[in-house]
Structure 1
Amino acid sequence: MENYLMIVHVDGNQITDWPTFHSVFAEKFGFPSFYGGNMDAWIDCLSSLDDPAAEMTSIHVQPGQTLSLVIDNAQAFKRRCPDQFEALVECAAFVNWRIAVAGGTPLLGLAFSV
């Protein structure tokens, strides 16, 4: 399997509340039109990054590969929206736990850019 790194940047300055959190991620990752706009739906969509047939995202990685999710302006985002920031970290960890329990490789790597 060819090993490459996919990097997706999300600008934390675009997130000011829950609706903008979900709209920014839905647009960046191409969530489906029926996306529920909640963290359970966010987890479900990002848990399918390696399954294009699920049609939950427009961005995909190969099975066994990890997507590097870079949150730009992370410090300001964390200060402005602590609940959304915490949910991002916890839910990304849950996506990886869910995959690991099923015997797979973590799908998301988080990085924060000041």
Structure 2
Amino acid sequence: MQTQVVTIPTGKIMDWETFHDVFDEALGFPGYYGRNMNAWIDCLTYADDPDSGMVANPVANGDLLTLSIVDAADFKQRCPEQFDALIDCAAFVNYRRREVGDGPVLALLIDGNFG
């Protein structure tokens, strides 16, 4: 299993609008991306399906897309609702895939001092 790491510049996230701007820019969601967490989950569920067009640079089948969450402690303090949704929805992407017999596709690399 290999991983493709995409850095998420959380310093640009201030609210839901900027949350979706940052992830859309980093991952290349399709033009019809709904800019809500259900749409976010839908896009990332298919991060290994090049025919779906859900992310600009899909990973190979069986590989992981790793989201490097830069300055996560600051992000969590500034935007606790968005931070919690990110954690919950990333977990749901993999749960959803496992429910249909697929392997996980998404990982989070949490970078930040929570001390």
Q: TM-score range by the shorter chain?
A: over 0.9
Match of 2:92 in 1: 94
Taking structure 2 as the reference length, the TM-score comes to 0.94
Kept in 2: contact 1:66–1:105 (CA 8 A)? no
Which residue is 2:53 aligned to? 55
Separation in 1, partners of 2:81, 2:88: 11
Which amino acid in 2 is paired with 1:105? Answer: G
Per-residue CA deviations over 1:5-27 (Å, capped at 9, x if unaligned) read: 21111011110100000010011
Q: Please list every run of at least 4 consecutive aligned residues from structure 1 whose deviation after the TM superposition is greater than 6 angstroms.
A: none
Note the aligned Cα RMSD (angstroms).
0.8
CA contact (8 A) 1:71 1:113 kept: yes
Match of 1:68 in 2: 66
Deviations 1:73-113 (A, max 9, x none): 10000000000000000000000001111111111111111
SS of corresponding position for 1:61: coil
Aligned-residue sequence identity (percent) comes to: 47
Equivalenced residue count is: 112
Return the alpha-carbon distance in structure 1 between the equivalents of residues 106 and 46 of structure 2.
Answer: 11
Question: Does 2:26 align with 1:28?
Answer: yes
Mapped to 2, the partners of 1:68 and 1:25 lie a distance apart of 13
Contact 1:66 1:107 in 2 (8 A): yes
Q: 8 Å contact 1:8–1:70 — kept in the other structure?
A: yes
1:4 CA drift (Å)? 2.4
